[in-house]
Amino acid sequence: MSSNKVSKSTITDELTQKVISLCQRRAILFANSDIYGSAAGFFDYGPYGCELKKRIENSWWKTFVQSREDIVGIDGAIITSPRVWVASGHVAAFNDPLVDCLKCKSRHRADTLVEDELKISVDGFSLDKLGALIKEHKIVCQKCGGELSVARKFNLMFNTHIGAVQDESSIAYLRPETAQLMFADFKIVQQAMRKKLPFGIAQIGKAFRNEIAPRNFVFRCREFSQMEIEFFIHPKLVNSCPILTDEVKAKKVQMITAAEQEKGKDGVMETMTIGDALSKHVIKTQWHGYWLATCLDWLYSLGITPANLRLREHVKTELSHYSVETWDIEYRYPWGWKELQGIANRTDFDLTQHQKESGKDLSYFDEESHERVIPHVIEPSIGVDRVFFTVLIDAYRENASDKGSTSTLALHPELSPVQVAIFPLMKKDGLAEKGRAVFNMLRSEFVCEYDESGSIGKRYARQDEVGTPFCITVDYDSLEKDDVTIRERDSGNQKRVPISKLKEVIECSFGEYCALHGGKN
Ligand code: GAP
C-alpha cells in the first residue's frame, strides 16, 4: 500500500509544507486511519477541519441554491446504475496517462512525471507526445531510476459489485463526479419542481477517483467532495443571458486564452472585463461569461486574494470528451497556477447520451416556441477539499518575533472554525465563572471556545493558528466594570467592550470585514 507520507514528500515548497504540518499538528486535516498506515489520497477532517469544510459547503449552498430561484438542489446516491457511466462516456474515456517502471513495477502518471522532470506545462498533450518526451529526455522511474514502459490509458473509476454475486454482471462504480445524477434525474426534478429553462440542479457530495498519482495533500486525492451545478439552457439561448448585468460585464479578470497557450510556452496572461471577453469572442457565450464571473465572485467572498485567481481556457486537445469550451478558474499555488474550478459548456451531450442509453425521453417542452428541445448545459464544478486547501494556503501568515515565529490563519470570519474564544485571565477569584458566563451568552450566536489553560499569549497563539478572528479576555476589571478586552486577530488591536454590547460589537466587526473583503452575510 502506498502511503500518504510518500505523497507529502512530493511537496517541495515551504509554505505548503507549513500548512500541511499545521493541519496535522492541530488535527484539522490528516492522513486517513493513520495508525494503520493509510493509503495515499484518503484524508480525515478533524474537529476544526470539519467545521471549516461545512462552512465552505454551507456558503456555496446558500449562495447558489437557497438564495436563487433558478437553482434547486439534490442529494443522490454514490453507487448508481453502471449504465449511467456507460452513457456519460466515463467507462470508455475517463482515463489518465500511465507509465509503469519496468524494474520496480511502480506506476506513474505520465503527464505529472513529465511536468515534474521538465518543469513545463503539458496540459492537453497526447499519449504519444508524452511518450516521446519521456524517451527524448530519458526520463526514468522517480523511485528506482528504472526504465519506463510506453504510456497507456488507465481508467480512474473505482469499481465494486452489487449483491452477493461478484461477476461482470454485478459490477458497479463509485461515482467519479456528482454531475451525472443531475442529468439522469433531470426530468423528474424539472417536472416535480415545475422549473422552466433556464434553471439549474446543484449537488454537494462525495466523488471517487483512483488517481495514479494523488499529490499535494488534498489537492488531488482519491476520495473527495464536489460542489456542482448543471445549468440547463434553451439550446438557442446559450448566448442570451438576461442576468448578465452591466455590473457583471464590467468585472475585470486575469485570463489566459487557448490561442495564447497554443502560441507556445505558457502564454501571456491578460486582464480583461467579462464584457470585453464576450464581445471579442474570447468567451464564446453569454451564459458561460455569467457563470465565470459569478463563480469568481463566490471565491472572492471566501476572502481568497483576487490577484491569485485567473481564468484559463482549455486548449482543444485538453477538452474533456463532453465539452466544447472549458475555462478553469486557476489559483496561484506555491507549485504554480493550477485548476481550482472547472466551468464547462457540455452542450446537450449528457442528456442526449442518457436519452439514448435509457431509451427515456429527456426532452423539455418549451411553452413559448411550442417545441421539444434537449437543453444545453453550462457546468460550474468545484472540489470542496480543493477550496479548503486553497483557503488555508491563501490565509496562512507567519509572525516573526524575538520569541520565535508563530502562524496565523487570516480566514474570513464567516469561515473560521471558531469565531470567538473566551479566556479568563486566571482560573481563580471568580474569573473562570465570569468567563463561562460570557461563553454561555455568546455561544448561541457564534461558534465559541472557552480556554483557561496556559498564558494569555499562548492562548492567543493557539487561536491564531486556527484562524479565530476574536479573542475575549475576562480580567479583574471585568468583575467590577462588567466589561472585557476583545482582541482582533489580524490587526492585534485590543479594546474594552461592555459585556452587554459584545454581540453587537462582534457582529459589527464581521460586517466591517465583509465590507472590506467582500462578504457573505
Ligand atoms: N463534472 C465535471 C468534473 O468533475 P473535473 O475538472 O474533473 O470536472 C471538477 O473536476 C473539480 O473537482 C475540479 O476543478 C477540482 O476542484 C475537483 N477535483 C477533481 N479531481 C479531484 C481530485 N482528485 N481531488 C480533489 N479534487 C478534485
DSSP of 425-464, one letter per residue?
Answer: S-STTTHHHHHHHHHHHHTTTS-EEE--SS-HHHHHHHHH
β pairing state of 159-161 and 199-208: unpaired
Q: What nine digits make up the cell of 457?
A: 499569549
Q: Sign of dihedral through CA atoms 60, 65, 66, 68?
A: positive
- Identify the CA nearest to 227 among candidates 204, 259, 257, 194: 204
Which residue type does 198 have? P
Cα-based torsion angle of the residue sequence 407, 519, 178, 202 in order, rounded to the nearest 10 degrees = 170
Tell me how far the alpha carbon of residue 87 lies from the centroid of ligand 1, in angstroms: 19
Tell me how far the alpha carbon of residue 382 lies from the centroid of ligand 1, in angstroms: 6
- Ligand 1: does its nearest atom lie under 6 Å from the Cβ of 177? yes
Q: How far apart are CA 302 and CA 520, in angstroms?
A: 8
State how far the alpha carbon of 338 is from the alpha carbons of 16, 327, 330, 332, 333, in Å.
14, 12, 5, 7, 7
Q: Give the up-direction half-sphere exposure of residue 110: CA atoms within 13 A in the CB hemisphere.
A: 26
- Ligand 1: does its nearest atom lie under 6 Å from the Cβ of 221? yes
Q: How far apart are CA 274 and CA 252, in angstroms?
A: 6
Q: How far apart are CA 144 and CA 293, in angstroms?
A: 46
- Ligand 1: does its nearest atom lie under 6 Å from the Cβ of 290? no
Q: What is the pTM of this model?
A: 0.93
Q: Which atom of ligand 1 is nearest to the CA of 341?
A: 14
Q: How far apart are CA 476 and CA 117, in angstroms?
A: 61
Tell me how far the alpha carbon of residue 215 lies from the centroid of ligand 1, in angstroms: 13
Phi, psi angle pair for 318, to nearest 5° = -95, -15
Phi, psi angle pair for 93, to nearest 5° = -130, 5
- Ligand 1: does its nearest atom lie under 6 Å from the Cβ of 179? yes
Which residue type does 264 have? G
Q: How far apart are CA 325 and CA 520, in angstroms?
A: 30
Tell me how far the alpha carbon of residue 207 lies from the centroid of ligand 1, in angstroms: 9
Measuring from atom 2 of ligand 1, which residue has the nearest CA?
381
Are 480 and 431 in contact by the 8 Å Cβ rule? The answer is no
What pLDDT score does 6 carry? 30
Which residue type does 154 have? F
Q: Which atom of ligand 1 is nearest to the CA of 387?
A: 16
Q: How far apart are CA 119 and CA 129, in angstroms?
A: 16
Tell me how far the alpha carbon of residue 347 lies from the centroid of ligand 1, in angstroms: 19
- Ligand 1: does its nearest atom lie under 6 Å from the Cβ of 313? no
- Ligand 1: does its nearest atom lie under 6 Å from the Cβ of 382? yes
Tell me how far the alpha carbon of residue 493 lies from the centroid of ligand 1, in angstroms: 40
Are 47 and 56 in contact by the 8 Å Cβ rule? The answer is no
- Ligand 1: does its nearest atom lie under 6 Å from the Cβ of 342? yes
Q: What nine digits make up the cell of 281?
A: 469572442
Q: Give the up-direction half-sphere exposure of residue 277: CA atoms within 13 A in the CB hemisphere.
A: 31
Radius of gyration of the chain measured on its C-alpha atoms: 25
Cα-based torsion angle of the residue sequence 266, 268, 272, 275 in order, rounded to the nearest 10 degrees = -60
3-state class (DSSP) for residue 481: helix
- Identify the CA nearest to 74 among candidates 199, 244, 245: 199
- Ligand 1: does its nearest atom lie under 6 Å from the Cβ of 212? no
3-state class (DSSP) for residue 187: helix
Helix, strand, coil shares of the chain, percent, nearest 5, are 35, 25, 35
Tell me how far the alpha carbon of residue 386 lies from the centroid of ligand 1, in angstroms: 8
Q: Could you please report the per-residue DSSP string of 310-373?
A: EEEEPPGGGS-TT-SEEEEEEEEETTEEEEEEEEEEEETHHHHHHHHHH-----EEETTTTEEE
- Ligand 1: does its nearest atom lie under 6 Å from the Cβ of 386? yes
Query: Which of 85, 177, 206, 208 for mutating ligand 1's site (highest number of atoms within 8 Å of CB)?
Result: 177
Tell me how far the alpha carbon of residue 137 lies from the centroid of ligand 1, in angstroms: 30
Polymer length of the chain? 521
Report the Cα–Cα distance between both ends of the chain, in Å, rounded. Answer: 45
- Ligand 1: does its nearest atom lie under 6 Å from the Cβ of 383? yes
Q: What nine digits make up the cell of 339?
A: 485548476
- Ligand 1: does its nearest atom lie under 6 Å from the Cβ of 341? yes
Per-residue pLDDT of the chain (521 residues; tens, 9 = 90+): 444 433 334 556 899 999 999 999 999 999 999 899 888 999 999 999 999 999 999 999 999 999 999 999 999 999 999 999 999 999 998 999 999 999 999 889 999 899 889 988 888 888 899 999 999 999 999 889 999 999 999 999 999 999 998 888 899 999 999 999 999 999 999 999 999 999 999 999 999 999 998 889 999 999 999 999 999 999 999 999 999 999 999 999 999 999 999 887 667 899 999 999 999 999 999 999 999 999 999 999 999 999 999 999 999 989 988 999 999 999 999 999 999 999 999 999 999 999 999 999 999 999 988 999 999 999 999 999 999 999 999 999 998 887 788 999 999 999 999 999 999 999 999 999 999 999 999 999 999 999 999 999 999 999 999 999 999 999 999 999 999 999 999 989 999 999 999 999 999 888 877 776 665 44
Q: Give the up-direction half-sphere exposure of residue 255: CA atoms within 13 A in the CB hemisphere.
A: 25
Q: Which atom of ligand 1 is nearest to the CA of 228?
A: 1
Query: Which of 381, 387, 391, 393 for mutating ligand 1's site (highest number of atoms within 8 Å of CB)?
Result: 381
Tell me how far the alpha carbon of residue 500 lies from the centroid of ligand 1, in angstroms: 47
Which region holds residue 178: left if phi is over 0, alpha if psi is between -120 and 50, else beta?
A: alpha
Query: Which of 85, 224, 349, 350 for mutating ligand 1's site (highest number of atoms within 8 Å of CB)?
Result: 224
Are 444 and 461 in contact by the 8 Å Cβ rule? The answer is no
- Ligand 1: does its nearest atom lie under 6 Å from the Cβ of 469? no
**DSSP E strand stretches across 348-425:** 364-366, 371-373, 376-383, 396-401, 404-409, 420-424
State how far the alpha carbon of 372 is from the alpha carbons of 198, 365, 369, 375, 475, in Å.
14, 4, 9, 9, 71
- Ligand 1: does its nearest atom lie under 6 Å from the Cβ of 224? yes
Angle between helices 286-301 and 47-61 (to 10 degrees): 140
The DSSP element (H or E) to which 97 belongs, if any, is strand 95-100
Tell me how far the alpha carbon of residue 388 lies from the centroid of ligand 1, in angstroms: 13
- Ligand 1: does its nearest atom lie under 6 Å from the Cβ of 113? no
